[in-house]
Amino acid sequence: MALLKEIKSRLQSVHSTRKITTAMMMVSSAKLLKTQQLIETLYPYEQKLSHLMLQLLQGEELFRSPYTQRREVKRVAIVVFSSNTGLAGRFNHNIINRLSSVRESYMHLGEENVLIYPIGNKVAKAAQKMGMTPAGDYEAIATKPSYQATQMIAQELMRLFINGKVDRVELIYHHFISKGSQEVRQEIFLPVELPVGGSEIPYQEYIVEPDRIILLEKLLPKVIQMKLYTTHIDSVTSEHAARMTAMQIANDNADDLIDELKLEYNKVRQQSITNELLDIAGGTVR
């Protein structure tokens, strides 16, 4: 009887846990749908900006900007995107592992010359364990992408780059491919590598006022800021997809465990009934 009570208690515990994982899966699914819709509305705008950049670069191969200046890397800033909470499979582990390897590759510069901008509580704590001092606290904006918030971060990084306080800015984040697939990406944010003008679209002579150079100088900072915002949304979308998948796997495992416990419960119960019948039969014979 004691074993039956133990199995029944475990069944109740697994059922309760499954309710929690199911709720978390549904919440992540709803959030994923919302961020996917945001990406679908954002991509056309980003594509138009890129198209406009290409148009303006036609015939301006010699265009240079402070944001495109390449120099010897003596100081680097790393912007890393993670989540504030766990239960998302290897989402945070993959980011932390990539940060660790990138940090090692820049250790020859000295720890004081490697700045870390952690967007997310998990990577912020991991960076502190590595001995890195975060350049700010961005936990509040990690789960809710905001253009205003990412714009401020981008402007700070752009000022540091223009003033020569950092020579390179890198991004580490998850890129959303599908609900079941997200990949870690590492990209150079600054300096900007401009596309070759006219390489993707036919040359068209437009009347541009005041002139192409001035418009490019105005447009490039907006493209840089939009890139950071898009990256943040990409990371959050990947987080929701990873958590939804992890909770689905947890539900499947819970179902398997429930089936196993039910089978074991029935076997033990049947054995108990059989033993009681044998005891009664034996008593009758005597």
Average the pLDDT over each of 110-124, 161-175, 187-201 and give the range with the smallest value.
Answer: 187-201
Q: Which stretch of 36-45, 78-87, 230-239, 254-263 has the lowest confidence by average pLDDT?
A: 36-45
Half-sphere exposure of 144 (CA within 13 A, CB side): 4
Which residue, 4, 39, 56, is CA-closest to 267? 4
Cβ atoms of 138 and 228 closer than 8 Å: no
Whether the per-residue pLDDT at 213 is higher than 80: the answer is yes
**Is residue 157 pLDDT above 70, yes or no?**
yes
The residue count of the chain comes to: 286
Residue 3 falls within a domain, yes or no?
Answer: no
Q: Give the predicted TM-score (pTM) of the model.
A: 0.88
Number of structural domains found in the chain: 1
Q: Indicate whether 278 belongs to any domain.
A: no
CATH assignment at residue 74 = 3.40.1380.10
**Cis bond before residue 191 (omega within 30° of 0):** yes
Decide if 132 is inside a domain. Answer: yes
Sheet holding 168-178, edge to edge: 114-119, 76-81, 168-178, 181-190
More confident residue, 246 or 209: 246
Does 280 map to a domain? no
Query: Does a structural domain hold residue 267?
Result: no
* Residue 5, in any domain of the structure: no
Distance CA 189, CA 137 (A): 20
Q: What percent of the chain has pLDDT over 70?
A: 93
> Would residue 265 count as lying in a domain?
no
Domain assignment of residue 279, yes or no: no
* Rounded average pLDDT over 262-280: 88
Domain that holds residue 222: 27-245
Strands (E) in 156-217, as ranges, are: 168-178, 181-190
